[in-house]
Amino acid sequence: MTHRRDTGLPGATDGAVAAPRAGGTWDSALSSGEFAAIRSVGFDPVGQVLGTAVFGVGFSGLWGCPGAWTVTDGVKTPSSAWTSSFSQLVGNLYAARRLALARAVDECRALGGDGIVGVELRVSEFTAETLEFTALGTAVRARSRVRPHRPFTSHVSGQDFAKLVNEGWVPTGLVLGIALETRHDDFRTSRRTRWTAGNMEVDGYTQLISHARRQARDQLALDAAKHGGDGVVVDEVELTLRENECPNFGYAHDLVAEAVCTGTSITRFSRSGRPAGPGPLTIMRLEREH
């Protein structure tokens, strides 16, 4: 989403009242602490919103083994000109999540909301061949006459949303970075995983997950730039691994790593006097979990 440049403080109170649902009540996915925090910075919840989409994502478009590659001086090079990629499947994964999120935004707009906080993007098996993608959150409305052109989306909690607003930051949109990388289980990896190999690094697997995470982070930064953000706050980077039968060699397997970064692009209320500098900065959570 692109915010207006003259919005000022989004939650500045001027007596406007959030529009409730029919019947004068609203529901939410907020805890009592989140509700109080959002209210403290001039926003009111107007209702829980949900967007969903069921996609068939089994077809990858692969016509060769995408895991046959080597790394020299940190540069990944395909071992064969016939190496294919997961680009078609990755595109479907983006499309499914964005469609679910867009439908949640439509519900937010219908409620008169200015944005959605606490968005949870979930993926679950629907049938053996399909996945359900859902986006669940709480629509909020500022007690202000200034409205954004399009409702913002954000994964941050109510308390974190209030902290951002108090520090002069506003969400511009929920952003994604998705990467699929695979490594063919050839002799360079299999010989290092045998019990006779002893304790040693399986560098092929290290390279696999490193490339997947790096690619997801790069895509996250690009998505943030499209939303007009100065930076990105990220909750976590999910990494899942699975084995697939190699399309070239039926007796061998490829290890597939899927990395998904979910974050919220943020910008300051006013960009006047903003110094020139590098692109969006990704900020990870610093405190340790107990």
Read out DSSP for 169-206? EEEEEEEEEEEEEEEE--HHHHHHHSGGG-S---HHHH
Contact 263, 230 (CB under 8 A): no
The rounded distance, in Å, linking the Cα atoms of 117 and 148 is 15
What is the rounded average pLDDT for all residues in the chain? Answer: 77
For the ranges 14-28, 40-54, 55-69, 259-273, the lowest mean pLDDT is seen at 14-28
The per-residue pLDDT for 276 is 46
In a domain, 1, yes or no: no
| Total domains in the fold of the chain | 1
- Tell me if 7 is assigned to some domain: no
- Please state, in angstroms and rounded to a whole number, the distance separating the CA atoms of residues 159 and 95: 30
Backbone phi and psi for residue 213, each to the nearest 5 degrees, phi listed first? -65, -40
Q: Can you tell me the distance from the alpha carbon of 172 to that of 216, in angstroms, rounded to the nearest whole number?
A: 20
242 in a structural domain: yes
Residue 231, domain extent: 32-270+277-283
Q: What is the DSSP letter of 197?
A: G
pLDDT at 14: 41
CATH number at residue 175: 3.30.110.70
- The answer to whether position 260 is within a domain reads yes
- Tell whether 289 is covered by a domain: no
What is the per-residue pLDDT for 99?
96
pTM of the model: 0.73
User: What pLDDT is recorded for position 82?
Assistant: 35
Q: Is the pLDDT of residue 18 over 60?
A: no
Does residue 18 fall inside a structural domain? no
Neighbouring C-alpha atoms within 13 Å toward the C-beta of 224: 27
Q: In this predicted structure, what is the pLDDT of residue 244?
A: 72
Question: How far apart are alpha carbons 123 and 23 in whole angstroms?
Answer: 33
Question: Each residue of 68-125: pLDDT tens digit?
Answer: 555 555 555 554 433 446 778 888 899 999 999 999 999 999 999 999 999 999 999 8
pLDDT per residue as tens digits for the range 192-229:
555 555 576 777 778 888 889 999 999 999 999 888 88
Structural tokens at position 134? 């859902």
Inform me whether the pLDDT recorded for 132 exceeds 90.
yes
Closest CA relative to residue 233, chosen from 173, 148, 288: 173
171 and 228 in contact (C-beta within 8 Å)? Answer: no
In a domain, 20, yes or no: no
What CA–CA distance (Å, rounded) separates 286 from 45?
A: 29
Mean pLDDT across 4-19: 39
The answer on pLDDT for 175 being more than 60 is yes
Domain presence at residue 224: yes
Task: Identify the band that residue 279 occupies on the pLDDT scale cut at 50, 70 and 90.
Answer: low
Rg of the chain taking only CA atoms, in angstroms: 22
Residue type at position 289: E
